[in-house]
Structure 1
Amino acid sequence: MLLSIALILLMGFSLGALLHRIGIPALLGMMAAGMILGPYGLDLFSPEILLISPELRKIALIVILLRGGLSLDLKDLKQVGRPAVLLCFLPALLEMITITLLAPKLFPISTLDAALMGAVVAAVSPAVVVPRMIEMIGNKIGTKKSIPQMILAGASVDDIFVIVVFTSLLTMSTGGETSIGTNVIHVPLAILSGSLIGLSIGWISTLVFRKISVRDTAKVLILLSISFLMVSFEDAFPFIPFSGLLAVMAMGVSMLQSNRNMASRIMGKFSKIWVAAEILLFVLVGGAIDFRYLSDAGLLSMILLAAGLLFRFIGVWLSTSGTILENKEKLFCAIAYMPKATVQAAIGAIPLAMGLEAGNLILTVAVLAIIITAPLGAVGIDRLQRRLLK
């Protein structure tokens, strides 16, 4: 396993730095490294790495959300108001509905399987979006109208919304005892409970750190441990409406509101951790891409993804309509909501592993979504932020 970790870090960093030098987002080089090293390339990953790959990706996701929470000022978010709330669910919902209605017409699958496919595809990638929004906040790009803050919050909750819907649909697809009414109630309850518990724990943690002298490095370890506990609780008790990932981000938000100086110092520590976590995440995401299914994808899958993205863009436009945002700023928001990678790599293969008939097709469309939208979205954010925003 040590050899695999060394190869992941060295090749991921090298290819990422190489592409960054020629103006291409480094994450593409990291994903390419994963494709080369992974089980569908040279097969240089040890079995142990493949076994813990989902957990390593989840750890990286937790680091992302903690950084996002520690950067998200609620005062800025309140200035945006309604659009920030709508961005949490409307674009993903429209994309899911589009795929649910269109997929059965293009492929021989049921409406329920199509809805499951829509839930897999609809999540935006926090690994692509959140670090870029944090960088934009630091560089004061678009911050006068709180555009990066709005996207950061919306994209993070978008993931939680989609994952909760996916879990509910998967239960229905595998014959679990659940009702539509239960699923409808589960989503807002999970978001509400995750937010409240995360905010409370963040406030309590700040009080404890004020009274007890602890080094910032120790604070980081404690916060990571609390985050692991919250996410593990959600995994252990899926029937309880609670979002561990949203609680992680809310904890960071609460700490920023309670003590900005402390939050800023902790944020600096997490930024250093992210250097290694980013490489691990995107190399492992690249390693999860199985090209064997791409030959079966064909033009129909492309049409399906294009239709989903079109209605996702419409959802972003509707969410930001009636605001002070100019059309070019709305266009940037739509582009920033395009990338898909982390969630699709994490859950795309689950329907296949659980023996669903449409599992192969769902995985194929998920892989295509990663390959097409992650590069386009990342390049779009990096290249257009200074052109479209003030």
Structure 2
Amino acid sequence: MLQSIALMLLLGMALGWLCKKVKLPGLVGMIATGMILGPYGLGWLDSSILDISSQLRRIALIIILLRAGLSLNLEDLKKAGRPAILMCFVPACFEVTGMIILAPILLGVSRLDAAIMGAVVGAVSPAVIVPRMIKLTEEGWGTKKSIPQLILAGASVDDVFVIVLFSAFTGVALGTGASAASFIKIPFSVIFGAASGFLVGYLLAVYFEKIHIRDTAKVMILLSISFLLVTAEDRFGEVIPFSGLLAVMGMGIALKRKRAVVAVRLSSKFNKLWVMAEIMLFVLVGATVDLHYAASAGIAAVVLILGVLIFRMAGVWCCMLGTNLNKKERIFCMFAYMPKATVQAAIGGMPLAMGLSCGNIVLTVAVLSILITAPLGAFLIDGTYKKLLMK
């Protein structure tokens, strides 16, 4: 395992640096590293690290969401208002609808299989979006109109909504049905997750105020509690709807609100942790990519992904109606809500594991969506924010 970690970090850094030199996002090189070293490439990654790949990716996601929470101003988030709520589900609904319309025509699948496929590819990637929105916030791009905060909030809840849709559609395919309760769980999951995170964050702020400990110890406490919150969702999610990742972000926001000075120092610590976590995350995402599946789908699958992206962008545009954002700022929001990676890597293979007939094609489209949208979305965000947003 140690050799695998060394190869991942060294080659990931090298290829990430090369991509930046040719004006491409560094994550492209990291994903390429995973494809080269992974089981579908040279096979140089130890099976033990692949067995815990999903857990390592989750740890990286927790780090970036903690960092986001510690950088996010709640007052700025309130300014976003209605569009932030709409961004949580409207673009995903547009994309799933686009998939149900286009996939049967382009790939010859059933409407139900298309719905499952839409739920898999319908989620945005916090791992791609969050660090970029934090950078914009820190540099002051678009913050007057709360654009980075709007995208941060939507991306955090969007995944919860899409995963519930995925569970409902696969339930129908397996014959267990989709109950109304599964959809009712969505708002409760968001409310309970956010409330739990805020409560824990305020309690930690009081504790840090009364008990003097080093910032490194505070980072360890925050990480440990975050792991417990995410684990609680896995263990009790069926009984009590609860979004662990949203709770993690809420904890950071509450700490920022109550103890801003401490939050700034802790955010700096998590920035350093993210340097390694980012490499691990995207290399492991790349390791899940099976190019054989990607090639087997052909041009039709690529056209399908680009087609449903248009539906998604139309959904984002609808969310912006009635706001004070100008045309350029709305176009930036459409670009920023494009990247996919982590959710697709996590659930793309589940229909195949469930024995569903659409399993192979769903996995193929999930893989292609990562390869197309993660680099494209990151490139568009990095290349356009100075032209489309006001500082």
TM-score (norm 2): 0.96
C-alpha deviation, 1:233, in angstroms: 1.5
Q: Which residue of 2 aligns with 1:188?
A: 187
C-alpha deviation, 1:259, in angstroms: 1.1
Q: Would you say the 8 A contact 2:76–2:146 is kept in 1?
A: yes
Q: Which residue of 1 aligns with 2:229?
A: 230
C-alpha deviation, 1:366, in angstroms: 0.5
- Give the secondary structure class of the aligned counterpart of 1:130: helix
Q: Which residue of 2 aligns with 1:163?
A: 163
Whether 2:334 is the aligned partner of 1:334: answer yes
Q: Which residue of 2 aligns with 1:285?
A: 285
Q: Would you say the 8 A contact 1:161–1:191 is kept in 2?
A: no
Q: Which residue of 2 aligns with 1:201?
A: 200
1:47-126 correspondence to structure 2 within 5 Å:
47-126=47-126
C-alpha deviation, 1:108, in angstroms: 4.2
Consecutive unaligned residues in structure 1, runs of 5 or more: none
Structure 1, residues 101-146: CA drift from partner, whole Å, max 9, x if none? 3323433433332221111101111111100010111111111111
User: 258-267 or 101-110: which moved more?
Assistant: 101-110
User: 297-306 or 72-81: which moved more?
Assistant: 297-306
User: 323-332 or 109-118: which moved more?
Assistant: 109-118
Q: Would you say the 8 A contact 2:4–2:44 is kept in 1?
A: yes
C-alpha deviation, 1:180, in angstroms: 3.0
Q: Would you say the 8 A contact 2:70–2:252 is kept in 1?
A: yes
Structure 1: distance between partners of 2:312 and 2:68: 23
Structure 1: distance between partners of 2:143 and 2:351: 40
Amino acid of the residue matched to residue 111 of structure 1? Answer: R
C-alpha deviation, 1:270, in angstroms: 0.6
Consecutive unaligned residues in structure 2, runs of 5 or more: none
- Give the secondary structure class of the aligned counterpart of 1:297: helix
Whether 2:154 is the aligned partner of 1:154: answer yes
Structure 2: distance between partners of 1:268 and 1:207: 21
Structure 1: distance between partners of 2:303 and 2:185: 32
- Give the secondary structure class of the aligned counterpart of 1:325: coil
TM-score (norm 1): 0.96
Q: Would you say the 8 A contact 1:129–1:152 is kept in 2?
A: yes
Structure 2: distance between partners of 1:163 and 1:97: 16
Q: Name the CA shift for 1:294/1:224 in 2 (closer, same or farther; >3 Å).
A: same
Q: Would you say the 8 A contact 2:107–2:301 is kept in 1?
A: no
Structure 2: distance between partners of 1:109 and 1:206: 52
1:205-224 correspondence to structure 2 within 5 Å:
205-224=204-223
Structure 2: distance between partners of 1:16 and 1:190: 36
Q: Which residue of 1 aligns with 2:371?
A: 371
Amino acid of the residue matched to residue 7 of structure 1? Answer: L
Structure 1, residues 20-56: CA drift from partner, whole Å, max 9, x if none? 1222111111111111111111110001011011110
Q: Percent identity?
A: 56
User: 309-318 or 100-109: which moved more?
Assistant: 100-109
User: 108-117 or 372-381: which moved more?
Assistant: 108-117
Structure 2: distance between partners of 1:292 and 1:203: 49
Structure 2: distance between partners of 1:21 and 1:291: 25
Q: Which residue of 2 aligns with 1:263?
A: 263
Structure 1: distance between partners of 2:171 and 2:277: 31
Structure 2: distance between partners of 1:249 and 1:258: 15
Structure 1, residues 141-171: CA drift from partner, whole Å, max 9, x if none? 1111111111111112112221232233334
- Alpha carbon RMSD of aligned pairs, Å? 1.4
Whether 2:349 is the aligned partner of 1:349: answer yes
